[in-house]
Amino acid sequence: MRTRRDRFDDIVRDVAEELDKKLEARGLVVEYAAMDIPTDLGEKWSPEVPLARTVAATKTAPARIIAFRRPIETRASGPATLVELVRAVLASEVSALFAIPLEELDEFGDLGDDDL
């Protein structure tokens, strides 16, 4: 039996593959990960829990975008909304990381800031 975590990981993987198609054309690389909740933010996130976080690239590793399952699931009203919210969250992080306007990711789906 597949768990909610397994299903969320699959969604993140599928969305990441879609986004990577846009990034590969630009020669850009990012890794994606999923965690249940942010574990090391302390007071920085207060009063709201973030939906994702970007970890900067190093000399030996590309940047990493981490999607937080439980905060995203809490905001989603159902399975279809969950997929769209993961798309919006990851695209927003990619947009900020690489200074790509969300409009240039528009064929990826409806990715407006209102979704966040």
Where do we find the tokens 């789906």? 109
Residues 49-63 pLDDT 10s: 889 999 999 999 999
Q: Give yes or no for residue 39 having a pLDDT over 90.
A: no
**In the prediction, which pLDDT does 87 show?**
94
What dotted CATH number matches 4-115? 3.30.2010.20
Distances (CA, A) of 38 to 8, 41, 54, 66: 15, 7, 12, 9
The whole-number pLDDT of residue 38 equals 86
Is residue 47 scored above 80 in pLDDT? Answer: no
Q: Which of 114, 111, 96 is closest to 15 using CA atoms?
A: 111
Domain boundaries, the chain: 4-115
d(CA 70, CA 24): 29
Mean pLDDT of the chain: 86
What is the rounded CA–CA span in Å between residue 108 and residue 115? 14
pLDDT tens-place string over residues 77-109: 998 899 999 999 999 999 999 999 988 876 554
